[in-house]
Chains A and B, each alone.
Chain A
Amino acid sequence: RKEVEQDPGPFNVPEGATVAFNCTYSNSASQSFFWYRQDCRKEPKLLMSVYSSGNEDGRFTAQLNRASQYISLLIRDSKLSDSATYLCAVNTGFQKLVFGTGTRLLVSP
């Protein structure tokens, strides 16, 4: 089993839709979790951290479910500019992040 798993997609949604991605992790001792965004032919950039209590940043909400060992990302009111690949990342210790393979999102007009 992979340490971090994501559905590769693509998720095709119309503008204005709400879309959610999940990411599962296998190491129950993992302490911190993140969502990164990667545009086509660009480097990944941190989108948001995922806290135990959940966190929200504008249209984006991240949640952590320790019991089931998954994190989620919810995007409301999707914009064309949200089209990208979303990578989840899990900190396995000493800044060593393990990444999922990414979920591709395509938002259409």
Chain B
Amino acid sequence: DVKVTQSSRYLVKRTGEKVFLECVQDMDHENMFWYRQDPGLGLRLIYFSYDVKMKEKGDIPEGYSVSREKKERFSLILESASTNQTSMYLCASTPGQNTGELFFGEGSRLTVL
């Protein structure tokens, strides 16, 4: 089975702190994604990567950056957390072919105070 692991299920941070959300997948997938999910807004794509050291902006990249130094790991970074970044963050991966099936991690619920 595909396993996408997000390092932290729950985090509480203060405004202005730097936050790292880590995601690791074990199926050698080329593509990795970071979404955030908010009530009434659904899943929104922040960034995605289709290869090591490659990154592409999604629909809401402002306030975020990403890092993909190894194929299996995709990190989301909040340089200076703000209260409007309180959300559920979901990492996903998929193989290179266009299957459309995203494999999601269990999510990281971030609260910024």
Q: Which residues of A contact B (CB under 8 A)?
A: 8, 32, 34, 42-46, 49, 87, 89, 91, 94-102
Residue among A32, A44, A46 with max Cβ neighbours from chain B (10 Å):
A44
Interface 0/1 of B83-107, CB less than 8 Å to A: 0000000100010001011101111
Bound complex: CA A97 to CA B59 (Å)? 11
Bound complex: CA A49 to CA B45 (Å)? 20
A96 touches B94 (CB 8 A): no
Interchain pairs with CB closer than 8 A, number: 50
Apart from the given pairs A45-B104, A95-B31, A99-B35, 15 other A-B contacts in the complex at a CB distance below 8 Å: A34-B100, A43-B90, A43-B107, A44-B43, A46-B101, A87-B43, A89-B100, A91-B98, A95-B48, A95-B100, A97-B45, A97-B102, A99-B42, A100-B42, A101-B41
- The prevalent SS among residues of B at the interface is loop
Contacts of B43 in A (CB 8 A): 44, 87, 99
A94 touches B102 (CB 8 A): no
Which 7 A-B pairs rank lowest in CB-CB distance, beginning with the nearest? A101-B42, A43-B104, A99-B43, A46-B101, A32-B100, A95-B31, A34-B100
